[in-house]
Structure 1
């Protein structure tokens, strides 16, 4: 989510970082005795999230069953550490995961901060950065996967000073969204993340949240912007050295990780018009397109989606990593999800955080999962129809 739609988090409760095995929330039984009755049935029903791979223009499981990633964003990991707060904005324990289950969520997208992960000197506290941050992310991912939910790890806030069009801040630190990832830290970030989750193909890597190198060059040269996106280097309007998507794909694969990778487009990844022409090469053949859709974006009609997103989706899987609208209604996201359902596109709505829905895009009123009226209510009702 770019700075124009960012929300300020309210005061939060303490983080509970627990690593749970499958079925950890089931009632306790006598030591060494088997589960029985309803508890046994629930244990059988709780299965880990599936490993994923790309097959044609779909995601499939290890059993070769076509699947879509449908769920929510869980914001906090991108800003909490850098703002001197807790790592996640609210609880990330078993109870918090249980609150998601009545919504029939099968995927959670987790925005991250590269400086918090790497533990640079810019992070305010070692208690919430570096090893502590990495362990917290690892534990939360394990918990979600063990509860049957796939995870998208999204690099959201990065290093590098940028003050041009669309700038969220003038700070060189990773305290807001930048137009492109940086060579200083981003390859190290993805090398470490991929190394940690190598072998866990239930986890998807979203290389960079919302690229906008076209805004940085004042929308003067689309070819230059697409080239910047793929190849990085020196890009017009961006003062730091950029890490292109090809570099980051190569970085991930150098670790031996085969996880599915998401790659965005231009204009805060609302524009996929030339995505296929500038798609990075992946020896694993496991790249999919990342698309974001809000009602205040440029491409907001079914005809635009048919001609651009649909063209990409005919060849590779497409995931709408963020969808939303700047009101508490759900009329726009209804249109997006209906189109996505028809065209085999997955989606994760912004955001599973109880920040109050006066500005839109907030799904819940509390950590128990009470949906907001009517944005959250509408999205919950729709998810249940797709994941009965």
Structure 2
């Protein structure tokens, strides 16, 4: 998400005490500030024509259900694997994720309004996956915001979600520039503490393939070389690249599906053909939002082309003006191409969030109704 994100970390789930940086308050009690979109893209981003032929590790021909049983890579128990440009379940059937993003565990260690009933309500829209935003500081001992109950809270959300029939994406949303004394927020890239986070998370969930790892929410404002290999973030800390994060997960013994977002706040995948993460069970993600430089006419060249060789999971999308047409176009685009998708967000933050619901009782917004209808059709 690139607009109306929480500006001040909340250390409890109670009423908002105050906002040091925020410009307005939404219904859920969180404090948010508008963040201007970064324009045409990031430093080092290429506007490639998108032919998708750069060292692809898949043949892209896995279009028929049940053809994923040959040369199957390792997979976690009850998990998923990638062959060509498709995701397969452990039974060899092509699988498409369609779901909902549930924020608040990035700014509150208990989450705002998160409960078994809340998770069941999300599942009632017929979602088969829930994406949960995570804060590495709450997770890591030694962090200034470490919360001893946070890991159990995430365990609870995973258990509730699976019981409701949904898989779970754990999305590293907020980090700390490699400094445990710093209050986490969204940064340009992951850091050394993110590696410690993923080692711990991967070890915890490596025997549960229904848990999926999204390595970093929205990388931005670095070159593609840094995105892949790490280096100077340009923001006062050393970035850790996607290859190192991926390797950390695998070195922990986890074969779970790994999701990797591109640049320009995880929108742009144009540099991936020349900067591939080496490994298996990798899915690339995109975050289209209704900005002038992220309209449907550019989707093919900016990120959609990669679906010819790799699976794509659109793990966030939305618009900020209460006009649901952009989201409808995105869902149509994904469905026509067999792409996975998850809509932002199940939180009553209004159009500027943007929100799928008007309240925590699950009353759908205009965009939420489109998402609910699309989920119900599958």
- State whether TM-score is above 0.5: yes
* Per-residue CA distance 1:5-57 (angstroms, 9 max, x = gap): 31555456xxxxxxxxxxxxxxxxxxxxxxxxxxxxxxxxxxxx952111211
Question: How large is the RMSD of aligned CA atoms in angstroms?
Answer: 2.2
Tell me whether 1:178 sits opposite 2:176 in the alignment: no
- Stretches of structure 2 that go unaligned for 5 or more consecutive residues are 7-24, 30-76
1:364 alignment partner in structure 2: 357
* Per-residue CA distance 1:355-378 (angstroms, 9 max, x = gap): 3x2425111122232212x12112
Q: 1:208 to 1:364 in 2, by over 3 A?
A: same
- The secondary structure found in structure 2 opposite 1:377 is helix
- Stretches of structure 1 that go unaligned for 5 or more consecutive residues are 13-48, 82-86, 163-170, 215-224
- The secondary structure found in structure 1 opposite 2:131 is strand
Tell me whether 1:230 sits opposite 2:228 in the alignment: yes
Within 2, Cα distance between the matches of 1:258 and 1:9? 39
Aligned residues: 314
Matches within 5 A, 1:115-264: 115-123=137-145, 129=147, 131-160=148-177, 173-183=182-192, 185-214=193-222, 225-235=223-233, 237-264=234-261
1:354 alignment partner in structure 2: 348
Q: 1:317 to 1:113 in 2, by over 3 A?
A: same
Question: Shift of residue 240 of structure 1?
Answer: 0.7
* Per-residue CA distance 1:100-146 (angstroms, 9 max, x = gap): 233111110001001111033411xx6xx1x3101110111122112
1:289 corresponds, among 281, 284, 293, to 284
Does the CA contact (< 8 Å) of 2:100 and 2:122 recur in 1? no
1:101 alignment partner in structure 2: 123
Does the CA contact (< 8 Å) of 1:230 and 1:244 recur in 2? yes
1:30 alignment partner in structure 2: none
Within 1, Cα distance between the matches of 2:278 and 2:351? 42
Within 1, Cα distance between the matches of 2:163 and 2:275? 36
Within 2, Cα distance between the matches of 1:154 and 1:104? 21
Higher alpha-carbon deviation: 246-255 or 273-282:
273-282
What's the TM-score, normalizing by structure 2?
0.78
- The secondary structure found in structure 2 opposite 1:268 is helix
Matches within 5 A, 1:24-35: none
Within 1, Cα distance between the matches of 2:95 and 2:134? 25
* Per-residue CA distance 1:233-254 (angstroms, 9 max, x = gap): 224x231111111111110001
Does the CA contact (< 8 Å) of 2:312 and 2:340 recur in 1? yes
Question: Shift of residue 299 of structure 1?
Answer: 2.7
- The secondary structure found in structure 1 opposite 2:132 is strand
1:377 corresponds, among 350, 369, 373, to 369
Q: 1:50 to 1:105 in 2, by over 3 A?
A: farther
Greater relative contact order: 1 or 2 (C-alpha under 8 angstroms, separation 6 or more)?
2
2:114 alignment partner in structure 1: 91
Within 2, Cα distance between the matches of 1:341 and 1:274? 24
1:337 corresponds, among 321, 331, 340, to 331
1:319 corresponds, among 290, 297, 313, to 313
Within 2, Cα distance between the matches of 1:297 and 1:197? 39
- The secondary structure found in structure 2 opposite 1:347 is strand
- The secondary structure found in structure 2 opposite 1:103 is coil
What's the TM-score, normalizing by structure 1?
0.76
Between Structure 1 and Structure 2, whose CA radius of gyration is higher? 1
Does the CA contact (< 8 Å) of 2:133 and 2:173 recur in 1? yes
Tell me whether 1:68 sits opposite 2:99 in the alignment: no
2:21 alignment partner in structure 1: none
Within 1, Cα distance between the matches of 2:352 and 2:166? 28
